[in-house]
Amino acid sequence: MELVILGSSGGPQPNGKRSAPATAIVRGDDIHVIDCGNGVARQLVSAGLRLRDLKSVLVTHHHVDHNADLGALLHLAWTAGLVTPVDVYGPPPLTEMLELIRAVGRPDIEHRESLGRPKLSGLMRGHEIASPGVVVSTPDMTITAGTALHPPMPSLAYRIDADGSSVVVSGDTAPSEQITELATGADVLVHEVYSPEHLGRLLSGTNADVDELRRHFARAHTDAESAGRIAKEAGVRTLVLWHLIPYDLTEDDWIRQAARHFDGEIIVAHDLVRIPC
């Protein structure tokens, strides 16, 4: 099993240095994508992966930086030769969203289906997750959804166990006992982080209320120091700092904060980095 960082930046504002949030778990030719930020299909191809090998998509929550390209990923994978169904998991209203995705793409879909492609509707299998628990259980892989704390948005984290190892992706969350429990004993924890002392870089030029944004980060996101504490409490081997806010902090700055509590391996996520698990 291999973890591929497709996009390492956090937040909805595009930048020229890091792509939007997305990761992938790769097992042989099978690809399981977690979150679908802007440009995820291109990032998969840039990582040397084939869109037609997409097997599942796990959406943590419905903020635009995590689901902007859900429809584009499925549609483009289909144009790239996808012939097997893709299971899509996420919180409500996922089913409605998939229906709307098909409606928006109808002119193109109908044309391409007339050329002999399999019906796209038959390749998009939605599974709404209303509560935490095991969502996939096969002899080769178990995927467990856990509760993330990202008010006011219903949010999930995911744990993937396969090939004798385990990876947890936090999604967006405040420091959470639920995430610690989900990650207990995992090999790799991919956790979102922000740096409170550098948050002003993100807030400059925003069209939102700056004070309200600061309150949002305090109640709905995790600072890098706390991510290190969670990794220590969970007993993970490797902590991957991801969904970086601000995106342009140095690696040393990130590691310095997380290492205050965690003395294991710390990796600062970069686009297209591949991490064996």
Contact 126, 95 (CB under 8 A): yes
pLDDT, tens only, 91-103 = 999 999 999 999 9
Predicted pLDDT at 198:
87
- 3 state SS of 184: coil
Name the amino acid, one letter, at 45: V
- With beta carbons less than 8 A apart as the criterion, state whether 155 and 205 touch: no
pLDDT over 90 (residue 27): yes
Q: Which domains are seen in the chain, by residue range? A: 2-274 (3.60.15.10)
Contact 184, 234 (CB under 8 A): yes
In angstroms, the CA 80 to CA 94 distance is 24
Taking the C-alpha atoms of residue 242 and residue 271, their distance in angstroms, rounded to an integer, is: 10
pLDDT tens-digit map of 112-134: 999 999 999 999 999 999 999 99
Of residues 1, 28, 5, the one with CA closest to residue 169: 5
Beginning with the edge strand found earlier in the chain, give each strand of the sheet holding 2-7 in spatial order: 124-128, 86-90, 54-58, 30-34, 22-27, 2-7, 274-276
pLDDT tens-place string over residues 153-201? 999 999 999 999 999 999 999 999 999 999 999 999 999 999 998 887 7
Between residues 5 and 199, which one has the greater pLDDT?
5
